[in-house]
Structure 1
Amino acid sequence: MENHEDVDIVIVGAGLAGLTTALALHRLGLRSLVLESSESLRTTGFALTIWTNAWRALDAVGIGDSLRLKSTQMKGFKIASPDTGLFTSEQALDKDGKFKGYESRCVRRKDLLEALVDELPPSTVRYSSKVANIEELDRFKLVHLADGSILKAKVLIGCDGVKSVVAKWLGLGAPVRVGRSAIRGLVEFPNGSGLDPMFHVNFGGGVRFGFVPVDEKSVYWFFTFTPSQVPSYEEDWKENPMKMKQFILSRINKMPQHAQDVVEKTSLSSISIAPLKFRLPWNILFGNIVKDNVTVAGDALHPMTPDIGQGGCSSLEDSVVLGRCLGEAFLNKSNEEDDEFERIKKGLEKYGKERRWRSFSLISVAYCVGFIQESKGILMTYFRKAWFSSYTPSAFLKMANYDCGNLVS
């Protein structure tokens, strides 16, 4: 066989799931190698809202408190009427006893990724390392890189997003488009935004718009819509991105001025657009999310729509559970009848069992919530007004009321 490098654990992708998994393993005294195809850390994406379940995961890997210092805690929800655009419904988290213990903050993606990298040994992430092919050699996995080098791994973990090479190797179906797109932005208010520390959201009539303060001066916002509302939008907006901003403003023109200012004052360089994709839920239930010493985590496992804010949060859960299961496999040698590969296989099967139904539930609930929030029609509009607007906070919080546990069981 050609020259190769022996590595116990190879993680493909230095995104949220990949770096958190590497840190979880590092906390347990296990070394891993993270392969990143980019030349440097990818800090695009602006920000993400981190809910209770994800803060528990961040605390488990030891970086929760440092991130809390850079973000404002949300005190509840403000929901706007789709008819008037005015914020007419409010759900406080700090005053309602049934929501005691819930935590929600919006964190810059850059801050989160850098916090993870700063806690890892310097040689953990290897940049400009694109995976070209995966082969098997006995019970090892040979990871061929585009530069011709080969890694011989005892464990291979795919954290390489919706276009995951590892997920494809496992035979998981490719994620599919849901027929909606998302525009996201981050705006800076030099003198302070003056916004309440609340999760502001408005939905109905085929769109969903919301914004969340990151800190006193920064606000993260999102806008999802059906592309059929804007024929040939991709070509028009690429040539003139100002049209994208004008489209959003035309759809939120009934909202209070401070809500419109969030979009109006965002620079075009701080706005991005992408089609929404998700993995079909039955792929999660019946597909191979684990095969011997190979598995996937994060968006490589459960890409979902952003309608309950759990995409990044669930990736953090994955990492803690995966770290714990691999820690048991590598460090617990009490059962001498099992060799190391058998322990790894059992550990990953345990991870898969724990994450399969959780991933299925998150994908399904997110899709249904988004479908109901943005659908048109008299019946659906009545349904939203009569019941769903008040149910929205509960949908968010119910899915966030989850504890992935600590790194050591």
Structure 2
Amino acid sequence: MELVEDIVIVGAGIAGLTTALGLHRLGIRSLVLESHDSLRITGFALAIWTNAWKALDAVGISESLRRRHTRLLGVMTTSTVSGLPTAETQFSAAGTQRDHHEVRCVQRKILMETLVNELPSGTIKFSSKVVSIEQSGNLKLIHLSDGSILKAKVLLGCDGVNSAVAKWLGFKAPAFVGRFAVRGSVYNENGHGFEPTLFEFIGEGFRSGFVACDDKTMYWFATFSTSMSNQEMEESPAKVKQFVLSKLGKVADDFKAVVRDTELENLSLAPLRFRHPWDILWGRTSKSNVCVAGDAFHPMTPDIGQGGCAALEDGVILARCLGEALRDKQGIRSEEYRRIEMGLKNYAKERRWRAFELISTAYMVGYIQTSNGKILSFLRNKVLGGFFARQQLKLASFDCGRLTTS
């Protein structure tokens, strides 16, 4: 059976849903294909920096998220070896570029459900795994695992690090950086009692962080390289939990208690992968009526907290570029396809250097923060802490703009 759709978005993640919502705000219908039978809520929470709040403002869902999540005042970095602070940055320091920075730790489930609730019924088609993509004139034939075929005028790949669309465009598989990330979440009905600050702990090749989402929910993460095999860790979350606790060193007991109180089902482990920055510059982000966004485009390590933020930016800019291409509904069909191709090229051009900068910075920050060498450790603790914080705020100053240019 063949069905015809104007715009098909592969992947109901942050980038895919934001793109669909942006198009919906512009009066353009799209169909989102999700390979799973329900929304994928992995990772528990994510940092939403100033740049991402501008994207959420653009698609009209920022206020409901603000009401449910605590605004953070700053970040405190502490050595796990000495137990002493090495850097502190306030997000609202008077007289600096940080005056207007807004940072909150948003629960992923709430973000995803908020995006979905704003979309028209029937926008998402679950259990729809893409197995192959073919060219058919100006259309793309999308073959699904259930045997059905979709004909699409526009194909947008927002299908994560293992993207079928990115593979079709010629991108190589993302590379493993040699580190893993553990993420956890704890809910305390009586309140957790932590200040609205991002607490980071770094030392001996191990980095962890603890941050409040709201008055009752704490989110924590850790990144590290390990001698344990990936399979061994996946099969024993309890071992992973004990490994994290063993690496916290002189971290205060109340933070260690957050890890101890985390139920194993509220703990996730993932290898960290990224796309080489030169692949972003030389690879094809778009081709004719196909392009990629989010992790399908620029998978990066989580060391600057910009992965989800960049996906939100992508969604707004992609919807705007595609909306401008489809604005004239009276043109002849061949002209419409040319406009679509140019719209996606404009999106790719606008995002290429931004993605390059984010991937490169995240990789270098992660490499230095988890280094156990004496020289890098000294520089990190004495010099680079403040530099990293300033760089994060610089990256968070980006403005993706509105959905329309008029």
TM-score normalised to the size of structure 2?
0.96
Residues 227 and 233 of structure 1 are in contact (CA less than 8 Å); yes or no, is this contact kept in structure 2? no
The residue that corresponds to 1:49 in the other structure is 47
Distance across 1 between alignment mates of 2:300 and 2:122: 32
Larger displacement relative to structure 2 (270-279 or 393-402): 393-402
Letter in 1 for 2:316: V
Q: Superposition pairs for residues 49-68 of structure 1, below 5 Å?
A: 49-68=47-66
Residues 237 and 267 of structure 2 are in contact (CA less than 8 Å); yes or no, is this contact kept in structure 1? no
Secondary structure of 1:69's partner?
helix
Q: Superposition pairs for residues 12-27 of structure 1, below 5 Å?
A: 12-27=10-25
Distance across 1 between alignment mates of 2:310 and 2:207: 22
The residue that corresponds to 2:367 in the other structure is 371
Distance across 2 between alignment mates of 1:233 and 1:281: 25
Letter in 2 for 1:196: E
Letter in 1 for 2:371: S
Letter in 1 for 2:318: L
Residues 86 and 381 of structure 2 are in contact (CA less than 8 Å); yes or no, is this contact kept in structure 1? no
2:399 is the counterpart of 1:403: yes
The residue that corresponds to 2:185 in the other structure is 186
Secondary structure of 2:81's partner?
coil
TM-fit CA distance, 1:264: 1.3
TM-fit CA distance, 1:239: 4.5
Structure 1 residues 56-85: Cα deviation after superposition (integer angstroms, max 9, x where no partner):
000100000010111000011111124323
Distance across 1 between alignment mates of 2:373 and 2:301: 22
Secondary structure of 1:288's partner?
coil
The residue that corresponds to 2:353 in the other structure is 357
The residue that corresponds to 1:321 in the other structure is 317
Larger displacement relative to structure 2 (92-101 or 398-407): 92-101
Residue 276 of structure 1 is aligned with which of 272, 283, 286? 272
The residue that corresponds to 1:125 in the other structure is 124
Q: Superposition pairs for residues 66-77 of structure 1, below 5 Å?
A: 66-77=64-75
The residue that corresponds to 1:172 in the other structure is 171
TM-fit CA distance, 1:156: 0.1
Distance across 1 between alignment mates of 2:260 and 2:148: 48
2:12 is the counterpart of 1:7: no
Structure 1 residues 233-271: Cα deviation after superposition (integer angstroms, max 9, x where no partner):
642x44542221111111113111121122111111111
Residues 47 and 106 of structure 1 are in contact (CA less than 8 Å); yes or no, is this contact kept in structure 2? yes
TM-fit CA distance, 1:44: 2.4
TM-fit CA distance, 1:338: 7.0
Distance across 2 between alignment mates of 1:119 and 1:232: 42
Letter in 1 for 2:144: L
Residues 318 and 344 of structure 2 are in contact (CA less than 8 Å); yes or no, is this contact kept in structure 1? yes
Letter in 1 for 2:276: L
Residue 255 of structure 2 is aligned with which of 247, 256, 259? 259
- Distance change in 2, residues 1:15/1:239 (3 Å): closer
TM-fit CA distance, 1:212: 1.0
TM-fit CA distance, 1:400: 0.8
Letter in 2 for 1:218: T
Letter in 2 for 1:331: R
Letter in 1 for 2:77: I
Distance across 1 between alignment mates of 2:361 and 2:53: 21
Distance across 1 between alignment mates of 2:103 and 2:328: 35
Distance across 2 between alignment mates of 1:17 and 1:108: 16
TM-fit CA distance, 1:21: 0.5
TM-fit CA distance, 1:95: 3.1
- Distance change in 2, residues 1:4/1:232 (3 Å): closer
Letter in 2 for 1:41: L
Distance across 2 between alignment mates of 1:292 and 1:74: 43
- Alpha-carbon RMSD across the aligned residues, in angstroms, is 1.5
Letter in 2 for 1:159: C
Distance across 2 between alignment mates of 1:288 and 1:310: 22
Distance across 1 between alignment mates of 2:179 and 2:248: 18
- Distance change in 2, residues 1:280/1:239 (3 Å): closer
Residues 81 and 249 of structure 2 are in contact (CA less than 8 Å); yes or no, is this contact kept in structure 1? no
TM-score normalised to the size of structure 1?
0.96
2:300 is the counterpart of 1:304: yes
Residues 13 and 160 of structure 1 are in contact (CA less than 8 Å); yes or no, is this contact kept in structure 2? yes
The residue that corresponds to 1:107 in the other structure is 106
Structure 1 residues 203-259: Cα deviation after superposition (integer angstroms, max 9, x where no partner):
23101100110000101110000023xx34642x44542221111111113111121
Structure 1 residues 3-53: Cα deviation after superposition (integer angstroms, max 9, x where no partner):
421110000001111111000000000000000111111122201110000
Structure 1 residues 348-374: Cα deviation after superposition (integer angstroms, max 9, x where no partner):
000000001100110000000000111
Structure 1 residues 155-180: Cα deviation after superposition (integer angstroms, max 9, x where no partner):
00000000000000000111010000
Secondary structure of 1:192's partner?
coil
Residues 134 and 141 of structure 1 are in contact (CA less than 8 Å); yes or no, is this contact kept in structure 2? yes
2:161 is the counterpart of 1:152: no
Distance across 2 between alignment mates of 1:384 and 1:354: 33
Secondary structure of 2:272's partner?
strand
Secondary structure of 1:295's partner?
strand
Secondary structure of 1:211's partner?
strand
Distance across 2 between alignment mates of 1:232 and 1:301: 28
Distance across 1 between alignment mates of 2:131 and 2:145: 5
Distance across 1 between alignment mates of 2:285 and 2:297: 7
The residue that corresponds to 1:380 in the other structure is 376
Letter in 1 for 2:183: R
Distance across 2 between alignment mates of 1:337 and 1:265: 59
- Distance change in 2, residues 1:259/1:20 (3 Å): same
Secondary structure of 2:100's partner?
coil
Q: Percent identity?
A: 55
Residues 12 and 36 of structure 1 are in contact (CA less than 8 Å); yes or no, is this contact kept in structure 2? yes
Secondary structure of 1:85's partner?
coil
The residue that corresponds to 1:392 in the other structure is 388
TM-fit CA distance, 1:93: 1.7
TM-fit CA distance, 1:311: 0.4
The residue that corresponds to 2:244 in the other structure is 248
Distance across 2 between alignment mates of 1:307 and 1:61: 26
Q: How many residues align?
A: 404
**Structure 2 portions without partners, runs of 5+:** none
